[in-house]
Structure 1
């Protein structure tokens, strides 16, 4: 009977570990460092083939700023004079007030979420702006709507608690039966 208890306890521990690994994997969001009064805005035509202007502030005067665009067919986009999710990066110089802006002409087959990140090469200031063209297929509008699952931490914690509770009940029952059989 002891052998069964050990096996059962091992299974409970393995189950708890299998639930804990995915939980730990999503627990830490990537940091976005900012210094000073960093700010950003995005305006324009949020459609495939449209042009958007993304403005950033908070960089050091005349600082070189790396600006990257990530999204569907981003390599086909034109950033100010620059198949699936791609990234394109250009470098611009902030003005005397620490501001930089880029005009982005989106490709005709653009869809989904685009992220524009500006990073000061000297200050390390990183500012991100995101905009959504909607859709889920080339040309937009043809795919399923993005419903967003949200944060699943509560689900993982609840499931893990249920597994641990169930395992504890099974182990306690096995121990109790083992002790009754000894008497």
Structure 2
């Protein structure tokens, strides 16, 4: 019985520390992504991944996802994805021109091809009659800035709690079987 309990605790401990390290991707903090320009149908805006967002001179795959995204242009490129090289400081600027029938939300994703760092930001297209504005004034903050170790620590605590419950149930059943 002691071997079973030890095995359960060892598995729970391994899940707590080993699995999150293997599955944890690195993300560019939301504060390191800045949107400026006119996010409206037919408008043009820049998405800037600031200094240090990616490795210096790293190739970065950039993608635009959203309704009518195929009609948008990315810095005069007629596709919805492209690869640009980061500057010597690790920054990348993407210029997006939306189609005249743009609606809803668009997500810009930058992925460092060497570092595998991922940065995403979602913008909402303003109504055509709302007038163009600059900056993030009307855009919601869609980032998640909680450190990954807190998220994985909470998940590990849940797994550990489930393992404890399983062990207590096994002990109770075993004692009930011996008593009968």
Q: In which range does the TM-score fall when normalised by the shorter chain?
A: 0.5 to 0.7
Say if 2:67 and 2:102, in contact at 8 Å, map to a contact too.
Answer: yes
**1:139-173 deviations in whole A, cap 9, x for unaligned?**
799xxxxxxxxxxxxxxxxxxxxxxxxxxxxxxxx
TM-score, structure 2 as length reference: 0.52
The Cα RMSD (Å) is 2.6
Point out where structure 2 has 5 or more consecutive residues left out of the alignment: 1-23, 131-180
Q: 1:131 aligns with which of 104, 118, 123?
A: 123
Distance in 2, matches of 1:32 and 1:46, equals 29
Quickly say closer, same or farther: Cα 1:74–1:32, change in 2 above 3 A.
Answer: farther
Which secondary structure does the structure 2 equivalent of 1:75 belong to?
Answer: helix
Q: Which of structure 1's runs of 4+ aligned residues deviate more than 4 A?
A: 35-38
Max Rg structure: 1
Distance in 1, matches of 2:96 and 2:54, equals 20
TM-score, structure 1 as length reference: 0.51
Q: 1:79 aligns with which of 52, 74, 78?
A: 74
Distance in 2, matches of 1:39 and 1:89, equals 21
Which secondary structure does the structure 1 equivalent of 2:80 belong to?
Answer: strand
Quickly say closer, same or farther: Cα 1:51–1:32, change in 2 above 3 A.
Answer: farther
Say if 2:39 and 2:126, in contact at 8 Å, map to a contact too.
Answer: no
